[in-house]
Amino acid sequence: MPSEKTAREFQHIACDWQPRPGSAKTRPHAKAWGYRLQNMIRNVAIIAHVDHGKTTLVDAMLHQTGVFRANEAVRERVLDSNDLERERGITILAKHASIRWKGYKINLIDTPGHADFGGEVERTLRMADGALLLVDAAEGALPQTRFVLSKCIELDLPVVTVVNKIDRSDARPDEALHEVFDLFCDLGATDEQADFAHIYAIGKDGIAKRELEDESSDLTPLFETLIERLPAPEGDPAAPLQLLVHNTIHDEYVGRIAIGRIRNGTIKPQETLAIIGKDGVVERKVGALWGFESLERIRIDGASAGDIVAISGIEDVHIGDTITPPSHPNPLERISVEQPTIKIRFMVNTSPFAGLVGDYVTSRQVRERLLKEAQRNIAMRVEEGDEADSFMVYGRGELMLAILAETMRREGYEFALGMPEVVVREIDGKKFEPVETVVVDVPQHHVGTVTQLLGDRRGVMGKMSPLGTNRSRIEYRVPSRGLIGFRSLFMTETRGEGLLNTMFEGWDPYAGPLLRRKNGAIVSDRKGVTTPYALFNLQPRGKLFVGTATKVYEGMIVGEHNRPSDLDVNCTREKKLTNIRAAGKDENVVLTPHKELTIENALDWIDQDELVEVTPDSVRVRKAILQCNLRPKREAPKKS
């Protein structure tokens, strides 16, 4: 088997030589060396449901292939470099890394597991020649497992299945493997695809086994299976260049960087190439060329078919564009993803506190930031709103758009958000709305509560099965409208013991009206600062969203009312003092801790006549019409 040094020599020869333009002859030995180099590459996408251990397994692979020194201090989930990813413990953006194992270069693509970021999975799977499917040994195949596997089957990618976390006390690895096989059959996989290799693993300990009874202390069985069962990249290094752009990022020093995979041919820095986009063909000169080595981008002198590279110097390149020689403009099929299902209105902040802390507050700045995000995230779409200074942003789910809003908030943007709405289609004169598959794992004593909650949201039960350990798994088909704000209610009703997973299923005829939020809001009727005395007397009226010494303004919502109607209150009132000494003792003021608002739970809570105000240092909810005397009274809860 060739060594790393020999593989690098292959790359040097394959990348430094190019056929003479217009020549039908090639140098056979160079072409053979180029193909030999391709056989030493594996491009592998790591896919799974959220929290099934993808990024943790990648950590172990990096450690065992010598990426880190033995005494180097390395944090967990090293690929989750984004602050939000580390705080939430989930992968939001797809990441690239590469490892070297016995002369082979394995390019790893770590993908998000949450359904709202499915666009990242669809975009990056086109870079891979095979996939590593992780399944939790206890939880088995869940909705996002079905989604990512269906995309692999559509692209005809071979799959290696890893049953992870076999050390869990409630692990059932054989049953989980059977569930994956049944999933292959349900999705219409071919016999070759259904004959997948499987590995049992403990990702956090870096252990992999071919069979449960085998002894193992490292991931060697996994590496061997990847090399044996997943193919080398296809493509002709001697053919004209074809490079499909899968991602774009911005660098402060070199500008826009395009990341893509070379399908055919070779590429060098400083070449003049054609960019084939949706709007036509333009010629641009390539700046620097990078390859991926371990966790870093490194400058390289060339790359050939099968490699994943990054290119600078092309400012007007977009995801889905094809880069070719000007003399051979042969485009590849553009990347396409499923359409958005949720929309939220972004608008300029118009509250009395607008512009006090934000660095970017104008409609032009908000618009530019949203359009920039839409270029990077092809699962998102931005349109001009019906009202001035507002923009309608379409995405896969509430979490995806809430993450965007949180990212903008941390960058210094200030804006307001409207209530999440579903995207409704008109087909043959009939209204269709998105529906989702909902899978809940709950203790058996909560089954009745959950079935009632989902039934009220026009959910239809598909199946219910026991999981052992006094838990049940229930599968529902529910309109996406019914799931807006459902997650927090579900966690409350199940006392935090339930697991909720959703996946977009398709489009069904409009299911009719659904119930809106039952309770009204407690609204401040004046500008000022909240006092303990006022809040203490408001506590019996509902749940508060603000604490003491909080600045408020007229129309700002300070809590949730116990009743269906809205309640305008003075939350800045102070206790009147007199010169008369009272014989009795003053009532002790004891405040219950208030509910801290985040962008996610604020979006879940607001109604049609309310907005979420987002600034770099706070998240508030407010009425769209601030003045009490102009605001229409809230009607009794009705279906929307």
In the chain, where are the structural domains located? 41-229, 242-324, 342-424, 426-509, 521-623
- Which residues face 639 on adjacent strands? 515
Cα separation of 202 and 166, whole Å? Answer: 6
Which residues 6+ apart lie within 8 Å of 456 measured at CB?
A: 482, 515
The number of C-alpha atoms within 13 Å of 27 and in the hemisphere containing its C-beta is 11
* Topology of the domain covering 426-509: Alpha-Beta Plaits (3.30.70)
Contact 406, 363 (CB under 8 A): no
Average pLDDT over every residue of 200-214: 90
Q: What is the reported pLDDT for 81?
A: 64
d(Cα 511, Cα 454) in Å, to the nearest integer? 14
- pLDDT band per the 50, 70, 90 thresholds, residue 65: confident
User: Could you give the CA distance from residue 93 to residue 89 in angstroms, rounded to a whole number?
Assistant: 12
Backbone angles phi, psi at 282, to 5 degrees: -130, 150
User: Is the CB of residue 154 less than 8 Å from the CB of residue 451?
Assistant: no
Please name the helix (run of DSSP H) or strand (run of DSSP E) that holds residue 474, with its range, or none.
strand 471-479
Homologous superfamily of the 242-324 domain (CATH): Translation factors (2.40.30.10)
The single-letter DSSP state of residue 272 is: E
The whole-number average pLDDT for the span 594-606 is: 90
pLDDT band at residue 392, thresholds of 50, 70 and 90?
very high
What's the CATH fold of domain 41-229?
Answer: Rossmann fold (3.40.50)
Q: What pLDDT does 10 receive?
A: 37
Q: Angle at which helices 398-410 and 363-376 pack, to 10 degrees?
A: 130
**DSSP class of 25:** -
- Confirm if 98 and 107 have CB atoms less than 8 A apart: yes
Contact yes or no for 98/293 (Cβ under 8 A)? yes
- The residue whose two tokens read 């493509």 is 235
CATH architecture of 342-424: 2-Layer Sandwich (3.30)
pLDDT recorded at residue 490 = 85
**H/E run at residue 453:** helix 447-456
Backbone angles phi, psi at 33, to 5 degrees: -65, -35
Q: What is the pLDDT of residue 117?
A: 78
pLDDT tops 60 at residue 54: yes
Residue type (1 letter), 403:
I
Give the pLDDT confidence score for residue 19 in this predicted structure: 37
pLDDT, position 79: 62
pLDDT confidence of 77, banded at 50, 70, 90? Answer: low
User: Residue 151: its pLDDT value, please?
Assistant: 85
Res. 7: pLDDT tops 50: no
> With the C-alpha atoms ordered 255, 308, 279, 408, is the resulting torsion angle positive or negative?
negative
* Arithmetic mean of pLDDT, 21-44: 56
Q: What's the pLDDT at 513?
A: 77
Q: Is the pLDDT of residue 496 over 70?
A: yes
pLDDT, average across residues 23-35: 41
The stretch 298-311 carries a mean pLDDT of 88
Quick one: which of 517, 524, 521 has its CA closest to 351? 524
In CATH terms, the superfamily for domain 521-623 is bipa protein (2.40.50.250)
d(C-alpha 235, C-alpha 263), whole Å: 6
Contact by Cβ (8 Å): 170, 199:
no
Range in 43-52, 78-87, 254-263 with the lowest mean pLDDT: 78-87
Q: Do domains 242-324 and 426-509 have the same CATH topology?
A: no
478-504 mean pLDDT:
83
pLDDT beyond 60 at 640 = no
Q: What is the pLDDT of residues 422-433, one digit of tens each?
A: 888 888 888 888
In this predicted structure, the answer to whether residue 196 has a pLDDT above a threshold of 80 is: yes
* 516-529: pLDDT as tens digits: 778 899 999 999 99
- For the cut 80, the answer to whether the pLDDT of residue 329 exceeds it is yes
pLDDT at residue 14, rounded to an integer: 38
As a whole number of angstroms, the distance between CA 615 and CA 360 comes to 10
Across 18-32, 319-333, 335-349, least confident range: 18-32
607 vs 417, 419, 527, 614, 638, CA distance in Å? Answer: 11, 6, 23, 16, 12
Question: What DSSP character marks residue 203?
Answer: G
What is the DSSP pairing of strand 430-443 with strand 499-509? antiparallel
Q: What is residue 456's predicted lDDT score, i.e. its pLDDT? A: 85
Q: Does the structure show a pLDDT above 70 at 31?
A: no
The mean predicted confidence, pLDDT, of the chain is 83
**pLDDT > 90 in the chain, percent:** 27
8 A C-beta contact, residue 542 and residue 522: yes
Q: Phi and psi of 170, rounded to 5°?
A: -105, 25
> Which residues contact residue 439 at a Cβ distance below 8 angstroms, ignoring those fewer than 6 apart?
142, 143, 473, 474, 475, 476, 500, 501, 502
